[in-house]
Amino acid sequence: GEDVEQSLFLSVREGDSSVINCTYTDSSSTYLYWYKQEPGAGLQLLTYIFSNMDMKQDQRLTVLLNKKDKHLSLRIADTQTGDSAIYFCAESRHNQGGKLIFGQGTELSVKP
């Protein structure tokens, strides 16, 4: 995951918006993903964006992609305590068989 960078920790209050940032390095990446992982569980896909898009919105989630800067962000509106988890961004490397490379994960803590 060293080629995909995320901040490690984010703390917000319930009801606020959360913004989790990610930078990646491979310009050949075709898809970029956000996954959520709760303690002891596998990964849950939240959303993904194709590299020719710059924004995707899905209910409380908004993904912004700046391909020039290789920067991806996930905004969670009206953050709830149930959103507390680790969030991973990942890039799908088209030139490497489509394998996913993950960032280190951002631990989101939502305080009531």
Partner 1 sequence: GAVVSQHPSWVICKSGTSVKIECRSLDFQATTMFWYRQFPKQSLMLMATSNEGSKATYEQGVEKDKFLINHASLTLSTLTVTSAHPEDSSFYICSARDKTSGMSGGELFFGEGSRLTVL
In the complex, minimum distance from the CB of residue 21 to partner 1, in angstroms, rounded to a whole number: 15
Query: Does 62 engage in binding with partner 1 (CB under 8 A)?
Result: no
Binding residue for partner 1, selected from 23, 31, 61, 64, defined by CB under 8 A: 31
Candidates 85, 105, 108, 110: give the one binding partner 1 (CB under 8 A): 105
* Neighbouring residues of 99: CB distance < 8 A, sequence distance ≥ 6: 92, 93
Token pair of 57 as six digits: 């919105």
Length of the chain: 112
List 52, 82, 97, 112, residue binding partner 1 (CB under 8 A): 97
65 lies in the site for partner 1, by CB under 8 A: no
Distances (CA, A) of 80 to 14, 18, 43, 83: 5, 10, 19, 5
Given strand 55-58, what is the order of strands in its sheet? 5-6, 18-23, 71-76, 61-66, 55-58
Closest distance to partner 1 from the beta carbon of 84 (Å):
15
Per CB under 8 A, residues contacting partner 1 are: 1, 30-31, 33, 35, 40-45, 48, 50, 88, 92-94, 97-105
